[in-house]
Amino acid sequence: MSEAKSGEASIYGALAGETFRAERDISSSNQGPKNLALMKINPNSDVPPPTDHGVVEPFWYSFDLTHRRVQEGGWTHQVTSRELPASTEMAGVNMRLTKGSFRELHWHLADEWAIMLTGRARVTVFTPDGAMFIDDVEAGDLWLFPAGAPHLIQALGDEGCEFLLVFNQGNFSEESTLLISDWLKHTPPEILEKNFRLGPDAIAKLPKGEPLYIFPSDEPEKSLEQEIAEAAKYAAKPKVSYTFKASTMVPTRQSDAGNVKIIDSRNFPASEKIASAIVTLKPGCIREMHWHPNGSEWQYWIKGKGRMTVFPGQEAARTVDFNANDVGFVSNMAGHYIENTGDEDLVFLEMFVASEFQDISLNQWIRALPEQAARAHTNLTSEEIQQIPTGVNPLLR
Ligand code: MN
Ligand code: MN
């Protein structure tokens, strides 16, 4: 019986007064009040595997628990260090824009990494060297807007778009970005006249009231090529690309258990400070036991379901279930694996505040050890040790 099934059985079993074995094989009978909806999606919290133990800081949250700021043209919600206190260096924002709608021109303190989840958008970013970068992205593609570089996102196509933003600032807030309409509104009109060399009638037209933030508009009138050509009249040519077409990238690693696309400063030079892996894992398969020597891991679960056990050391370990639109977090150096417990492909992101993706595989390490040392630590025979997978395949069937 799979863990998911045993967890489900535990809900109804608990109602029927049955008991189940949990941590250290002690009864987990549960007679009092319970939140059955939460128990059903968290079978590994309800009846922890007997190997779980001790206190591990919370490492699960869901965008579907957050306040959604809805306005004409789209919506947004966020999971930051306010929702997930362990994540001090990374935060995420999920945003939707309807056809033609804009996320207002703005900038902020953090770098912004993004993946398009559905639909298409046109993005522009203006860089400190005076270059204007414009491109169109579709589902599966990425962008990176450096801290301080002002940028714009506009939905293309009838369906509009939805995307996930990841920031290298734990307490980032979408409510506290620097907006062009906000600044103009808070500048004396006579200064605006001097700055723009415009008369009072023109300055009177500038937006007042609430900042625009997200607002409806028409789709771009011009093609991407035309807009790039026009920008070139007034701005320098960008030295690097601020988008990355991950949707058409050949996976970095591929096996019968799934594939991994690793995108960091080595293949996406604009992403100097944020490294990522997009993992697709087949049902029943695992992302092998590993850890990361260069930072904490912030996860976004795009599709499917799974479970993860996090081992931060000192005899502590906790197993938690995840579904689409959830956020996971693995503190620096903590050991972990991910298992696809569903019956469809699981897709999730591993995000790091780092220039390069790095991980250490338990299997590779054991197989590289002097064999006597491996035997002494595991009680396994030579034959058994030689069955442990070697090589660089992070996904196992
Ligand atoms: Mn932004
Ligand atoms: Mn990992």
Digit-coded pLDDT (tens) for 66-112: 999 999 999 999 999 999 999 999 999 999 999 999 999 999 999 99
Looking only at the bridges linking them, the beta strands covering 258-263 and 316-323 are: unpaired
Specify the pLDDT at position 27: 60
Interval 106-135 mean pLDDT: 97
**Domain's final residue, options 244, 263, 297:** 244
The CA 395 to ligand 1 mean position distance, Å, reads 33
The label of the residue with tokens 């995307």 reads 163
210 and 285 assigned to the same domain: no
* CA angle centred on 215, ends 198 and 103, rounded to 5°: 90
The CA 330 to ligand 2 mean position distance, Å, reads 7
Looking at the structure of the chain, the number of domains it has is: 3
68 part of a folded domain: yes
Q: Is pLDDT above 80 for 273? A: yes
With contact defined as beta carbons under 8 Å apart, do 119 and 169 qualify?
Answer: no
**Which range among 79-88, 173-182, 241-250 shows the weakest confidence by mean pLDDT?**
173-182
The CA 112 to ligand 1 mean position distance, Å, reads 6
With contact defined as beta carbons under 8 Å apart, do 191 and 153 qualify?
Answer: no
104 part of a folded domain: yes
Digit-coded pLDDT (tens) for 247-268: 999 999 999 999 999 999 999 9
Looking only at the bridges linking them, the beta strands covering 297-303 and 305-313 are: unpaired
Minimal CA–CA distance to 299: which of 43, 60, 56? 60
The CA 155 to ligand 2 mean position distance, Å, reads 32
106 and 158 assigned to the same domain: yes
The CA 113 to ligand 1 mean position distance, Å, reads 9
Model confidence at 391, in pLDDT bands (50, 70, 90)? confident
Specify the pLDDT at position 7: 44
Of all residues in the chain, the percent with pLDDT exceeding 90 is 87
The CA 370 to ligand 1 mean position distance, Å, reads 50
8 is catalytic: no
Interval 177-182 mean pLDDT: 94
300 and 197 assigned to the same domain: no
Which residues lie below 8 Å from residue 373, measured CB to CB, with a gap of 6+? none
261 and 301 assigned to the same domain: yes
DSSP string, 200-257: HHHHTTS--SS--SEE--PPPSS-HHHHHHHHHHHSBPPSS-SEE-GGGPPPSEEETT
Q: Looking at the CA of 144, which ligand is closest?
A: 1
- In angstroms, the CA 75 to CA 80 distance is 17
Q: Looking at the CA of 214, which ligand is closest?
A: 1
101 and 192 assigned to the same domain: yes
CATH number at residue 268: 2.60.120.10
84 and 230 assigned to the same domain: yes
Quote the mean pLDDT of the chain: 93
Outline where 36-168 has alpha helix (H): 36-41, 43-46
Kindly provide the b/e burial profile for residues 144-170, where b requires at least 16 CB atoms within 10 angstroms of the residue's own CB: bbbeebebbbbbbeeebbbbbbbbbbb
Q: 312 in the Ramachandran plot: left (φ > 0), alpha (ψ -120 to 50) or beta?
A: alpha
The label of the residue with tokens 């028409």 reads 218
77 and 44 assigned to the same domain: no
Specify the pLDDT at position 21: 54
The CA 59 to ligand 1 mean position distance, Å, reads 25
Of all residues in the chain, the percent with pLDDT exceeding 70 is 93
Q: Looking at the CA of 151, which ligand is closest?
A: 1
Specify the pLDDT at position 28: 61
Digit-coded pLDDT (tens) for 23-54: 455 566 777 898 999 999 999 988 899 899 99
38 and 70 assigned to the same domain: no
Catalytic residue among 104, 112, 174, 350, which?
Answer: 350
The CA 394 to ligand 2 mean position distance, Å, reads 10
Specify the pLDDT at position 22: 53
58 part of a folded domain: no
Q: Looking at the CA of 111, which ligand is closest?
A: 1
Q: Looking at the CA of 260, which ligand is closest?
A: 2
Domain of residue 190: give its range: 63-244
Q: How far apart, in Å, are the Cα atoms of 203 and each of 183, 221, 320?
A: 13, 25, 55
Specify the pLDDT at position 46: 86
366 part of a folded domain: yes
252 and 106 assigned to the same domain: no
The CA 239 to ligand 2 mean position distance, Å, reads 32
Q: Is pLDDT above 50 for 171? A: yes
**Domain's final residue, options 191, 225, 244:** 244
Interval 156-173 mean pLDDT: 97
* CA angle centred on 179, ends 176 and 182, rounded to 5°: 100
The CA 359 to ligand 2 mean position distance, Å, reads 7
- In angstroms, the CA 349 to CA 251 distance is 14
177 part of a folded domain: yes
Q: Is pLDDT above 70 for 185? A: yes
Specify the pLDDT at position 392: 81
134 and 35 assigned to the same domain: no
Q: Is pLDDT above 90 for 181? A: yes
152 and 254 assigned to the same domain: no
Digit-coded pLDDT (tens) for 214-227: 999 999 999 999 99
98 part of a folded domain: yes
**Domain's final residue, options 244, 264, 290:** 244
380 part of a folded domain: yes
79 and 222 assigned to the same domain: yes
80 part of a folded domain: yes
Q: Looking at the CA of 348, which ligand is closest?
A: 2
